[in-house]
Structure 1
């Protein structure tokens, strides 16, 4: 730890990030980098100690090795919440933090919007409108319905708060269960299959870990009610897409709202595009106007702690992945 570390801001919107650091840490040497390919050389040339980084050009090309195996980088600050694109790292060598909570409210609104869309049959009414067809369709309240939130970090907690405000029954799953405001029940992951049969909406917001990869699979879909709706705002790979397609074809669930996919961008020939009971968004549920500035400000606040030798907030345990 240095009181005057060299900092790299690795983002596709460097001007806003540089402005925040200029305002909050005007005495530091700050470099901006807006490509994946240029980052390794810049780290080496500047001997950077701290790197704030955003995954803005997908995971496969992300320069993880330059960050977590650098001889000079001591702290990597992730601009979002997920850290699966870093793979494994040695916490004795480098500290990794994330920006958990930066988009919790927006993701919760996305989840609530998806629940309302299905309960109000908005997609069905849109089809009838385009066909200039009067009549048909049916709306249902979400009040009194049950939502199962898988993953009760900041996003899951925000979802439960909004669902409870709408009069819903709220069930939750977290690795270490404990009573939580806005949750009627909190269970450990072993209770998942038993809880699914009670849920009208299942919202998945867990990180991608060895324990969560394929979590929403054939057995999971088999335990759901035929009227259940899956909302996935986690990471591609948590839902087994082949099992999802099988469940949709077999009408074992009502539908799904998906913001994350195993392959991104979702290939144009992927069969998921063809389902009228599947809402597809391009991994954008957390991207709202100003999120990047909010994230950099969170980093700037943490940087004050780093420079004064205080513990950092949102430190990620590589074993847990959060």
Structure 2
């Protein structure tokens, strides 16, 4: 017997999600949709009330209107943490949840790895290795260094824990400042002009909002230490890429580790590819074996809550973006 509500799994690989939901919610009406183009027709044909959606083919092509203009869709469960590709939406008509926290530990390890890569000079040593050149070099500790965390959500807090374990000083910025575990100082965004110059590493972990677009721009780079390293695991658009390029060309910062970009995939002719002191990764800091299972487990739990009429976990406020 079919048990409502009707669910669409909008991912490019629905087998795992189908298997999990059959185990946790036998009888639930679940339909796969593995393309952007087919989502509107799938919703129309099934009269789906819930859509689990992963942004698997870029932001620009994402079928936002198919979800938000549907008369039947009441809940969109985003399989990742970012929801900027959906905004704005009317929370009176549709509820949006995300999987924030499912990949926080992995993203924190990515950021820690980037810091260690720079402090241990690994990219420079790798270039010498390729040339079979024994060139004397040195390494430096991150112990005693200062990390500035932009955003103290799941990822920011996970990174703060690791940074403190490595003996670092942690400075945090969040929209509503309050004491936060493993963060030595917590400030509001208005304090950033005084914080840029204190940081050896800057980790960007904020959602893309109107208030955060271009947050790291020319003024920020001008205020940073020449030895500072930027690590971005947030969303393309938070860092002003033109300002970043200018800073790199002028040697105003040591380098950057970038997992997100204003245009994804990063165009092959983009200048960022050519910098030896820039790590470019394909938006994969949250992609690890097991992330999807965690996101789907949260979704399955929320389906049970939805069926019981209880409050859903990880409901996103469209005004705050998280």
- Residue in structure 2 matched with residue 19 of structure 1 by the alignment: 19
- Residue in structure 1 matched with residue 296 of structure 2 by the alignment: 296
Residue 204 (structure 1) aligned with residue 204 (structure 2): yes
Alignment check: 8 A CA contact 1:10 1:53 kept: yes
2:159 & 2:263 partners in 1: Cα distance? 26
Residue 155 (structure 1) aligned with residue 155 (structure 2): yes
SS at 1:96 equivalent = strand
- Residue in structure 1 matched with residue 61 of structure 2 by the alignment: 61
Alignment check: 8 A CA contact 1:124 1:137 kept: no
Two-structure CA RMSD over aligned residues (Å): 0.8
SS at 2:234 equivalent = coil
- Residue in structure 2 matched with residue 272 of structure 1 by the alignment: 272
2:153 & 2:142 partners in 1: Cα distance? 23
SS at 1:6 equivalent = strand
Deviation at 1:61, TM superposition (A): 1.0
- Residue in structure 2 matched with residue 35 of structure 1 by the alignment: 35
Q: Give TM-score, length-normalised by structure 2.
A: 0.98
- Residue in structure 1 matched with residue 81 of structure 2 by the alignment: 81
- Residue in structure 1 matched with residue 281 of structure 2 by the alignment: 281
1:41 & 1:293 partners in 2: Cα distance? 27
- Residue correspondence of structure 1 range 70-219 to structure 2 within 5 A: 70-219=70-219
SS at 1:149 equivalent = strand
1:181 & 1:234 partners in 2: Cα distance? 21
After superposition, what is the alpha-carbon deviation per residue over 1:256-285, rounded to whole angstroms, capped at 9, x for unaligned?
000011111111111111110000001111
Q: With CA pairs under 8 Å and 6+ residues apart, which has the higher RCO, 1 or 2?
A: 1
1:255 & 1:116 partners in 2: Cα distance? 13
Deviation at 1:66, TM superposition (A): 1.0
Deviation at 1:87, TM superposition (A): 2.2
After superposition, what is the alpha-carbon deviation per residue over 1:4-29, rounded to whole angstroms, capped at 9, x for unaligned?
20011111110000001000110211
Residue 307 (structure 1) aligned with residue 313 (structure 2): no
SS at 1:307 equivalent = helix
1:163 & 1:68 partners in 2: Cα distance? 40
1:306 & 1:68 partners in 2: Cα distance? 19
- Residue in structure 2 matched with residue 235 of structure 1 by the alignment: 235
Q: Give TM-score, length-normalised by structure 1.
A: 0.98
Question: Structure 2: which 5+ residue stretches go unaligned?
Answer: none
1:211 & 1:229 partners in 2: Cα distance? 23
Deviation at 1:137, TM superposition (A): 2.0
2:54 & 2:117 partners in 1: Cα distance? 31
1:178 & 1:151 partners in 2: Cα distance? 12
Deviation at 1:135, TM superposition (A): 2.9
Alignment check: 8 A CA contact 1:150 1:174 kept: yes
How many residue pairs end up in the alignment?
320
Question: Structure 1: which 5+ residue stretches go unaligned?
Answer: none
2:245 & 2:232 partners in 1: Cα distance? 14
Deviation at 1:103, TM superposition (A): 0.5
2:14 & 2:90 partners in 1: Cα distance? 28
SS at 2:5 equivalent = coil
